[in-house]
Amino acid sequence: MTSSTHSSVNNLQTSETSQPILDIQSLVVEYPTKEGNIRAVDNVSLQIYPGEVLGLVGESGCGKSTLGFAILRLLKGGFIKQGAIQFNDKDLATISEEEMKSIRGSEISMIFQASQNALNPLQRVRGHFIDTLKYNDLDPEKDFYRVEETLERLDIPLHRIQDYPFQFSGGMQQRIVIALALLLRPKVIIADEPTTALDVLVQARILQLLRELKEEFDLTMILISHDLGVVAETANRIAIMYAGQIVEIGDAKTVFENAAHPYTQGLLKAIPNIKEKEKKKMEAIPGTPPDLRNPPSGCRFASRCPIAIKECKIAAPMLLKIGTHHGQDHFVRCLQYEDEYKTKF
């Protein structure tokens, strides 16, 4: 395939002048099964810049959480087959477990989804903080001030850490999970579906809290969600994942208001808009994602795409730069933007 007017990308670049704090290059993550390996992350390249919030969006099973776990080398049953994850001149994909341990929590931390599952129901909340300090070779007595400072910032009464997780509301449990992630003041936070299983009002409060913490602690954040609406007001840039691949990435305003990929457009149509005078029926995306043990040779979205042509099931689209908006480059993986196929759409 050729593209004379667009830039193809192996290395995703934005017009940012700063160097990325995380530079993911050609990452492949697989999970072995009896029927063959599932390639959950397929040749993903992605840069995250200091101080930004990158929204990583896609439906369940698209690989977004796997990508987050791969950064911290917390894959359960999976493995990094190839690629690099550069952070502070270290490749997180290849460094020793001992070196990785020194980065988890203190440099890069994770807010796990479903706080009721992230916390041990048989352990008092205090124990969770003590374990986090010990894991990072800190003295629970001498360094307990870290716990006190973090709890105060997140409006969690100190005496409540003697309670068990089930004695807290869902919103308070999520605050505890966030407090654990922030305990050692990391540079990067990976927030994996941080508002899952919370009601709408609590979701809004948690997202507002994350925005405040991001500014207060100068955090860089990867916000993982299946809901474009959740990340729209929080993220600076949005990357859309489908079937293990990045299919669109650009600044949040552009992706939300001028989505280029048919999958992104489908996700937007599934978001209810209570501000519209005429209520529109939400549209579901028909069909199901492909089997990642044996993905199709062409576009992975072709069987569900409303504008697909026959070539879409044959030719694998490249990730192409289609413009620059609000200081950010806009990329999309779709044949309709490749010169060779433009006139057929």
d(CA 328, CA 14): 5
* Predicted local distance difference test score (pLDDT) of residue 227: 86
* Predicted local distance difference test score (pLDDT) of residue 92: 98
Residues 218, 310, single domain; the answer is: yes
* Predicted local distance difference test score (pLDDT) of residue 247: 98
Pairing state between β 328-333 and 319-325: antiparallel
Residue in the block written with tokens 């704090």: 21
Choose one of 140, 169, 185: the last residue of a domain.
185
d(CA 169, CA 323): 45
CATH number for position 41: 3.40.50.300
* Predicted local distance difference test score (pLDDT) of residue 16: 46
> How many domains does the chain fold into?
2
Residues 172, 318, single domain; the answer is: no
Domain coverage including residue 121: 116-185
Rounded to two decimals, what is the model's pTM?
Answer: 0.91
User: What is the strand order of the sheet 90-91 is part of?
Assistant: 38-48, 22-31, 79-87, 90-91
Residues 45, 152, single domain; the answer is: no
d(CA 174, CA 195): 8
Position 1 in a domain = no
Choose one of 185, 200, 219: the last residue of a domain.
185
Do 27 and 93 touch, CB atoms closer than 8 A? yes
Residues 167, 220, single domain; the answer is: no
Position 2 in a domain = no
If one counts every other C-beta atom within 10 angstroms of the C-beta of residue 85, the result is 23
Do 270 and 263 touch, CB atoms closer than 8 A? no
Per-residue pLDDT tens, the chain, 345 aa: give them.
333 334 434 444 444 458 999 999 999 999 999 988 999 999 999 999 999 999 999 999 999 999 999 999 999 999 999 999 999 999 999 999 999 999 999 999 999 887 777 899 999 999 999 999 999 999 999 999 999 999 999 999 999 999 999 999 989 999 999 999 999 999 999 999 998 878 888 888 999 999 999 999 999 999 999 988 889 889 999 999 999 999 999 999 999 999 999 999 999 988 776 555 555 667 788 999 999 999 999 999 999 999 999 999 999 999 999 999 988 999 999 999 999 999 999
* Predicted local distance difference test score (pLDDT) of residue 280: 62
* Predicted local distance difference test score (pLDDT) of residue 276: 56
Distances (CA, A) of 167 to 47, 115, 159, 201, 202: 40, 13, 13, 20, 17
Residues 74, 213, single domain; the answer is: yes
Residues 217, 255, single domain; the answer is: yes
pLDDT tens string 95-127: 999 999 999 999 999 998 877 778 999 999 999
* Predicted local distance difference test score (pLDDT) of residue 196: 80
Residues 200, 72, single domain; the answer is: yes
